[in-house]
Structure 1
Amino acid sequence: MEFTHASSEQHYAGLVRAGEDALVCLDFDGVLAPIVEDPAAAHVHPDAAEVLLALAEEVRAVAVVTGRPARQALALGGLEELGAAMEARGRTLHLRGQYGNEQWSSDTGRVVSPRPPAGLTAFSAELPDVLAAADAREAFVEDKGLAVGVHTRRLPDPAGALEALREPVAALAARHDLVVEPGRHVLEVRAHGADKGAAVRELVAMTGASAVLFAGDDLGDLAAFEEVARLRSGGAEGLLVASVSDAADAVTALTDRADVVVDGPAGVLALLRELTRDTAGARL
């Protein structure tokens, strides 16, 4: 494992020492599953279940924190089956979907979700005109129930289309009291008040963890990175992991802050295997 900052190895050692008091939070896309053109085809890495099940026995809790709808992540990730296997070993798997707006845990098996934001229907109705004006009619619009994602990955010039849409989509969202979360070739429009930092904060409070690892790959994970940094400034242990599948798509706002930069989902799982071994060894 290569550390990026002078203090990063110390942060990793602190996480290992915390052991059963540690919380491991993982994004879904780009961290557990590869980035693909069709979001409905993003299945988790085939080794993920085995690695997470072993990890769960060494830490306080494992959580998936994603912008995806919770039910979609459950289905694509096989998380219900993984959660059942964790429950059989006295552990619980947590899922926070749509940036924490939706909650699921393997001990209850129920998705708890709020009502969609009031302005989302009107936003969706007006969005086609905005896409047409920006010459981006073929952008893929993903209805997430509590949010709308505007994806430009399938367009001839994804980066150019995203830049052309950034201001008009933000203006339309603001008119309907919504916010825009930019990501890799996507603009996600949702209600105020939910982000991955708040989700991490809630999970820490719920589990009583004294150490946190967060692994992410995109701008939507920046709030979680900032929350872990805040926890560290208060005396908690924390490790920040950036997953990069394509150097051309690397999000420098994450990689510059990360303690460890890994090569996509396979790299994330390799790191978690090492963490499992080191944590188990520290208890002996």
Structure 2
Amino acid sequence: MSPAPVPEELIAPLRAAREQSAILLDLDGTLAPVVRDPEAANVPELTRRAVQELTERYALVGCVTGRRAADARRILGIGSIPYAGIHGAELLVRGARAAELDPEAERWGERVRAVADASDADALRASGLRREDKGPVVALHWRGADDEEAALALAEEIATRALAAGLKTHHGRRVIELRPPVPMGKDGAVRRLLARSGVTHALYVGDDRTDIDAFTALRGMVADGRLDQAVCLAVLSDESPPELLSAADATVDGPIGVRRLLIALSA
């Protein structure tokens, strides 16, 4: 049986007020299918075209991601939209050559990398745990490791050392991030993207726990009168966090369902 589409009553107000509406999109697991190696992530051409179509119809289209903003722009391949990277610690505005990184987060980057560097490289390789450096954040991935339990155990060990060093950690879909102990979240990213935009409606689509922060920010903007409507959508997968699904207004079925939604928004 085909999954139910997003209820028309949720997206009709955005289509009716496109010149005052924002479409905000996560990248991995939303626009791009999740893959074993983050470097191999790719947004299908049909999805990229659907996003491009939205940029010509809506007041604001933006990408909110845990990746570096420049990497997200390279993967999506659209230079005419803003990208909030590293969960809001970085902002790459439309057409800019380089992103602006929060200086407070940047100051912690060396200490975050030092914790990761203390891990034995041979042990990382043997466990299948992969390290991804994202400026002030280091991500430890175990998706597709031969022994995912062993890789997870090593990631948890590194995370424990990070906490002891005064850092923060965040657990996602088969990934743990080592983060600076500074405010960092997609709530701040959403607020920065919408600041001075003049939009009255906003839709956000995401697939992981970090996206709940974006939901919270948008609903807060409705509560204080800065938005008339916020639509918060979760992307379904076999790894969907239950708390994300509980927080969403509705769901879409994987990145293909996201593409169908984008096409419906352009109709």
Q: Give TM class, smaller chain.
A: 0.7 to 0.9
Match in the other structure for 1:119: 111
Counterpart Cα distance in 1 of 2:200 and 2:144: 42
Match in the other structure for 2:19: 20
Counterpart Cα distance in 2 of 1:143 and 1:120: 10
Counterpart Cα distance in 2 of 1:162 and 1:13: 45
Match in the other structure for 2:208: 218
Contact 1:27 1:215 in 2 (8 A): yes
Counterpart Cα distance in 2 of 1:136 and 1:24: 42
Task: Note the C-alpha offset of 1:166.
Answer: 6.5
Match in the other structure for 1:87: none
TM-score in terms of structure 1 length: 0.81
1:139 aligns with 2:90: no
List runs of 5+ in structure 1 lacking aligned partners. 84-92, 278-284
Match in the other structure for 2:235: 243
1:108 aligns with 2:108: no
1:200 aligns with 2:190: yes
In 2 relative to 1, CA 267–120 (structure 1 residues): closer, same or farther, beyond 3 Å?
A: same
Alignment of 1:63-82 (within 5 A): 63-80=62-79
Counterpart Cα distance in 2 of 1:166 and 1:231: 36
Larger relative contact order (Cα-Cα within 8 Å, sequence gap ≥ 6): 1
Alignment-mate amino acid for residue 42 of structure 2:
H
Query: 1:146-194 CA distances to partner (integer Å, 9 max, x unpaired)?
Result: 2111111122453x45763565344322233321121000001122211
1:99 aligns with 2:87: yes
Contact 1:184 1:249 in 2 (8 A): yes
Task: Note the C-alpha offset of 1:198.
Answer: 0.7
In 2 relative to 1, CA 108–256 (structure 1 residues): closer, same or farther, beyond 3 Å?
A: same
In 2 relative to 1, CA 176–209 (structure 1 residues): closer, same or farther, beyond 3 Å?
A: farther
In 2 relative to 1, CA 36–198 (structure 1 residues): closer, same or farther, beyond 3 Å?
A: same
Counterpart Cα distance in 2 of 1:232 and 1:128: 48
In 2 relative to 1, CA 164–135 (structure 1 residues): closer, same or farther, beyond 3 Å?
A: farther
Match of 2:214, SS state, is helix
Task: Note the C-alpha offset of 1:39.
Answer: 0.4
- Among 160, 173, 185, the alignment partner of 2:174 is 185
Match of 1:208, SS state, is coil
Counterpart Cα distance in 1 of 2:47 and 2:8: 24
Contact 2:128 2:147 in 1 (8 A): no
Paired residues, what number? 258
Counterpart Cα distance in 2 of 1:209 and 1:147: 31
In 2 relative to 1, CA 108–155 (structure 1 residues): closer, same or farther, beyond 3 Å?
A: closer
Match of 1:154, SS state, is coil
Query: 1:92-134 CA distances to partner (integer Å, 9 max, x unpaired)?
Result: x1101111112112233332224351421321222339x95x9
Query: 1:16-50 CA distances to partner (integer Å, 9 max, x unpaired)?
Result: 34321111111110111110001011011211232
TM-score in terms of structure 2 length: 0.86
Task: Note the C-alpha offset of 1:199.
Answer: 0.2
Alignment-mate amino acid for residue 96 of structure 2:
T
What CA RMSD, in Å, does the superposition of the two structures yield over aligned residues? 2.6
What percentage of residue pairs aligned between the two structures are identical? Answer: 32
Match in the other structure for 1:173: 162
Counterpart Cα distance in 1 of 2:239 and 2:141: 15
Task: Note the C-alpha offset of 1:234.
Answer: 3.0
List runs of 5+ in structure 2 lacking aligned partners. none
Match of 1:227, SS state, is helix
Contact 1:128 1:137 in 2 (8 A): no
